[in-house]
Amino acid sequence: MLSQGAPETAAAGRWKLVWRRFLRNKPAIVGAIVLLLIVIAAFALPPILPFDYKSMDYSALQQPPSPKHPFGTDATGGDILAQTMHGLQKSLIIGFSVAILGSIIAVTAGSVAGLLGGWTDRAIMWLVDLLLVVPSFIVIAIFSPRTKGSSSIPLLIVLLAAFGWMISARIVRGLTLSLRDREFVRAARYMGASTRSVIVTHIVPNVASFLIIDTTLALGGAVLSETGLSYLGFGVQPPDVSLGTLIAANSGSSLTFPWLFLFPGGFLVAIVLCANLVGDGLRDAFDPSSKRARAGRKAAKPTKQKVKAS
């Protein structure tokens, strides 16, 4: 085998191939870059700003954007830029953590239930049904003494994720049931593959399209449900701010003092939009039948190079 002249082209493997296909999707790349910039801004900007989210500038009350306050100020002279950036930190952490954690729970529970069937399936589905009928806000309210204050963010994330995965899990279970009888899953079974490796290598990539859409939608949902909790007195509490509380507090003045509402709202839209673009790109990259991830008309090799270079 080694004696052959031509160098062996090593197989790229699944993940490399998915990555290569993702790179061909320009909107997804743009989305990823913008998302990255937002994350960097949210964490790098506040320390170098002249104001922090709590400080009040009494010389500028309810002022439109100016060089001193690029995003304007609110009624108490708070700097909207500083508040938005601080809120972004909170919302990014909460949104992404809840969405990803929820999806992980959903895919694990759903695929295990679908793949194993029998009693495991029934037990997991009972749990799903139970959680669906339990009013989640009341349960979170029971935890409320602990969730007050900003140190409770991890607990808030866990609670939000714990009550947000059930419907996705049911869908994943349904998809898994149809995959279970497919011959490639049976073949893997007869090869002696463990349940875990069947889930990771076959089930997850084949339900990826659904999962990705679900996660991107859950991202926006998590930011907003955090706002709802804050309104009820749980989650992020004043003077601490999140994107959600900013939007909720300022939505009333969206017509009179638009800068109060537009900047936090714009960032939320930007995050969800970028996450959607990245999600679409990932979905196309995972799906071999998608034509968008295919190489263009030109020969494949140069195209790949060009995309990588750009």
Partner 1 sequence: MTDPTATETPQEGARQVTTAPLLEVSDLHVSFPSEEGRIDAVRGVNYTVSDGEVLAIVGESGSGKSVSSLAVIGLLPDQARVRGSIRLRGKELLGMDDRQLSTLRGSRISMVFQDPLSALTPVYRIGDQIAEALLAHGKMSNKQAAERAVELLDLVGIPDPQVRARAFPHEFSGGMRQRVVIAMAIANDPELIICDEPTTALDVTVQQQILNLLRKARDITGAGVIMITHDMGIAATLADRVAVMYAGRIVETASTAELFRSPRMPYTVGLLGSIPRLDDPARTPLIPIVGAPPAMHALPVGCPFAPRCPVAIDDCRAAEPPLQDIVPGHRTACIRTAEVGTTDLFTAYRHEITEPEREIITDDRVVLRVSDLTKVFPITSGVVFRRRTGEVRAVDGISFEVRAGRTLALVGESGSGKSTTLTEILDLERPEVGSIEVLGNDVATLTKARRREIRSKMQIIFQDPSASLDPRMPISDTLAEPLRIARRSREEIRTRVPELLRQVGLRPEHADRYPADFSGGQKQRINIARALALDPEILVLDEPVSSLDVSIQAGVLNLLRDLQTERGLSYLFVSHDLSVVWNLAHDIAVMYQGKIVEYGPAEQILTQPEHEYTRALIDAIPVPVVVG
Single residue of 48, 119, 255, 298 touching partner 1 by CB under 8 A: 298
Could you tell me the sign of the dihedral formed by the alpha carbons of 41, 221, 286, 169, in that order?
positive
Q: Is 44 in the site for partner 1 (CB under 8 A)?
A: no
Q: What are the residues whose beta carbons fall under 8 Å from the beta carbon of 194, sequence distance 6 or more? A: none
Q: Which stretch binds partner 1 (CB under 8 A): 5-13, 82-90, 107-115, 232-240?
A: 5-13
Q: What are the residues whose beta carbons fall under 8 Å from the beta carbon of 223, sequence distance 6 or more? A: 91, 94, 95, 242, 243, 244, 268, 271
- Residues of this chain, 159-218, that bind partner 1 according to CB under 8 A: 182-184, 186-188, 190-194, 197, 201-202, 205-206, 208
On the CB side of 109, CA atoms within 13 Å amount to 23
Q: How far is the CB of 292 from partner 1 (least distance, A)?
A: 10
Q: Which residue has the tokens 């194993």?
A: 116
Nearer to partner 1, 18 or 222 (CB): 18
End-to-end CA separation in angstroms for the chain? 38
Helix/strand/coil for 78: strand
Distance of CA 293 to the CA centre of its chain: 22
Distance between CA atoms of residues 116 and 176, nearest Å: 10
Nearer to partner 1, 291 or 310 (CB): 291
With CB under 8 A as the rule, give the number of residues binding partner 1: 38
Q: Which stretch binds partner 1 (CB under 8 A): 78-86, 95-103, 244-252, 284-292?
A: 284-292
Single residue of 154, 296, 306, 308 touching partner 1 by CB under 8 A: 296
Q: How far is the CB of 187 from partner 1 (least distance, A)?
A: 5
Q: How far is the CB of 289 from partner 1 (least distance, A)?
A: 6
Residues in the chain: 310
Single residue of 50, 154, 228, 288 touching partner 1 by CB under 8 A: 288
Per CB under 8 A, residues contacting partner 1 are 1, 8-14, 17, 182-184, 186-188, 190-194, 197, 201-202, 205-206, 208, 286-289, 291, 294-300
